[in-house]
Structure 1
Amino acid sequence: MDEEARERLRLGLENLMDDRDYLYRLISNIDWDAQLDAVRSVLRQHRQAADRVSANIKDLEEAAQTYDGPYHYHVVDEHVDAMWQSSYSDAAISLSAIGMVVPMIETIFAQAFQALGEKYVAKGMSPPQHKRWTRAEQHPERWNVQRYFATAGVKTDIISGLRQLCEASGVSPFLGPDYMDWMAALFHYRNQMFHGGFEWSIAQRQSFVKLIAERGWERYFFWSTTNGDPWICYLRDDIIDALPERVFAVLGSLGRFTKALPYELMTDSGDEGPTTSEV
């Protein structure tokens, strides 16, 4: 197959592919679409349940305001109890959402980078110049997203490691302008919720309040309060609802990155077909 025929074949196949399809050149054993469909289904059920809770609270509020019979205080107590319980059910929805999506994001990048690193090694090629590679040299975990390579050595820090590896590999320009910030916010929140539960320690709450203010993350999170102080931290509804589509966009970004990788890096032996002299 000559170069012109190979190019025609490549262009013909690419016209049939979505951006995320190119990611299968790195990861071919995971059904991302099925996973996202499952996440959408669960989030939809949770949203419906939350809407029912909100409607019940509204009905109880109206009853507490309009009912003037002998059981008035009982109705008021029911309204207060319903609001109290919703504080925890809403937290459960946030935890469920973050618990499904953040591990998915983590494994997308982890497996893609691991596969990419193996290709560089197999082809005897080097990734683009970056301080990560200079610091890591031939460290066996140089492609591990959980490792951040600082001047003082390697640290386990997936938030910093992911950002550094995206920059070092050349992925960053393919991501949306706010995606690293969005992922950092989700990873920080995941860590807090997984280790602190719904009701974090006072110190953890104060620390996260400070982090939200420093990073401008008010668009992602809001708090319920007790006696005017932060109590339970939640993901905003619009952030939860958008999670599947944002993950879908990440897949597309990584697909475009994969498509742009050097041909000689991504071509396996035998992919090119016979040469003209062999036909």
Structure 2
Amino acid sequence: MAGKRFGLTDRDYAVLLLGDADLEAQLRAIRGQLHRQAQADATLQDDIADIAKRASTASGEYGMHLENSWVDEMHASVFQDAAHSTAAIGMLAPLLESLFVGIFAGIRDIAPPAQPVTPTGPRAAHAADPDFWDPHVVFSAAGRKRTQVPHGICELVETTGLTAHMPADYAQMLGAVFAYRNKMLHHGFEWPPAERAKFEARIAREGWPAEWFDRSLTNGETWIITISDALIRHVLAQIDAMLEGIGAFIQSRYP
């Protein structure tokens, strides 16, 4: 962490770029909701284990009833996992999107830096375009624009020279988060089989860590895909690391 000015840390400088948005309160709310979801999961797993224990010693019709209850609860747990996965991605993806929208708008609006930012990369040719600072937008070499959030973020990170201050796998993380968000947004819990296969292929193609996603199977085939606790923890840790890096970048360039 760079030296403090006026008692402000690198993270503070990054958060100040967001203006009135209270990022810290948002993160506390998200972590609180994720904690409550984890408690609900633990409660359900305890209930399932209790039914299984009782079924192992019961017999007759009551034993059959307990076995059927166990199957029902196991089935319900898959959909609870999917609901919690959708809630998690529904909080994390918009947070990341709004974070970068605010950060780049903040950089755009502050005074010229002591060390001027010289735009680089394919986006640099469009610095005069009113959408230049919008991370939703990706520019082609011919100047055509399309909406593609993670790529727009990465273009602006490269263009502004922020790359060295970002976690090494931030682009990979953003790609996984927004790709999964789009699948859940458009297909719900149970994606069409072709969409499941395409996403599995993309995980391999992009080199996303296997532990970032969990799967429930039916007949040996992928049925429901959820984000894992490992990915959720990684996203939250990356947000912290990105804020530190952005703040260090700001402190190094802006008096």
State the AA in 2 paired with 1:29: D
> 2:132 is matched with which residue?
142
> 1:215 is matched with which residue?
206
Does 2:59 align with 1:68? yes
Specify the SS of the correspondent of 1:14: coil
Contact 1:159 1:184 (8 Å CA) reproduced: yes
Could you tell me how far apart the structure 1 residues matched to 2:112 and 2:7 are? 30
- Alpha-carbon offset, residue 126 of structure 1: 5.7
RMSD after superposition: 2.3
> 1:229 is matched with which residue?
221
State the AA in 1 paired with 2:135: V
Could you tell me how far apart the structure 1 residues matched to 2:127 and 2:233 are? 42
Provide the TM-score with structure 2 as the length reference. 0.90
1:184-223 equivalent positions in 2, closer than 5 A = 184-217=175-208, 218-223=210-215
Task: State the identity as a percent.
Answer: 33
> 2:106 is matched with which residue?
115
State the AA in 1 paired with 2:213: F
Specify the SS of the correspondent of 2:61: coil
- Alpha-carbon offset, residue 242 of structure 1: 4.7
Deviations 1:62-96, CA, capped at 9 Å, x for gaps: 22222224321111110000010011100111111
Does 2:44 align with 1:53? yes
- Alpha-carbon offset, residue 248 of structure 1: 2.4
Specify the SS of the correspondent of 1:231: strand
Specify the SS of the correspondent of 1:223: strand
Change (3 A) 1:245 1:94: same
1:153-164 equivalent positions in 2, closer than 5 A = 153-164=144-155
In the alignment, structure 1 segments of 5+ residues that lack a partner are 1-10, 264-279
In the alignment, structure 2 segments of 5+ residues that lack a partner are none
Could you tell me how far apart the structure 2 residues matched to 1:99 and 1:141 are? 25
Change (3 A) 1:12 1:260: closer
Provide the TM-score with structure 1 as the length reference. 0.82
Could you tell me how far apart the structure 2 residues matched to 1:177 and 1:250 are? 10
Contact 1:94 1:240 (8 Å CA) reproduced: no
Specify the SS of the correspondent of 1:71: helix
Specify the SS of the correspondent of 2:215: strand
Contact 1:39 1:244 (8 Å CA) reproduced: no
Contact 2:136 2:152 (8 Å CA) reproduced: yes
Could you tell me how far apart the structure 2 residues matched to 1:253 and 1:67 are? 59
- Alpha-carbon offset, residue 251 of structure 1: 1.9
Could you tell me how far apart the structure 2 residues matched to 1:195 and 1:85 are? 22
Specify the SS of the correspondent of 2:119: coil
Does 2:68 align with 1:82? no
Match of 1:130 among 99, 102, 121: 121
> 1:277 is matched with which residue?
none
Change (3 A) 1:120 1:167: farther
Match of 1:173 among 164, 176, 180: 164
- Alpha-carbon offset, residue 131 of structure 1: 2.0
Could you tell me how far apart the structure 2 residues matched to 1:243 and 1:72 are? 44
Contact 2:166 2:245 (8 Å CA) reproduced: yes
- Alpha-carbon offset, residue 116 of structure 1: 1.7
- Alpha-carbon offset, residue 137 of structure 1: 4.5
Change (3 A) 1:37 1:79: same
How many residue pairs end up in the alignment? 251
> 1:272 is matched with which residue?
none
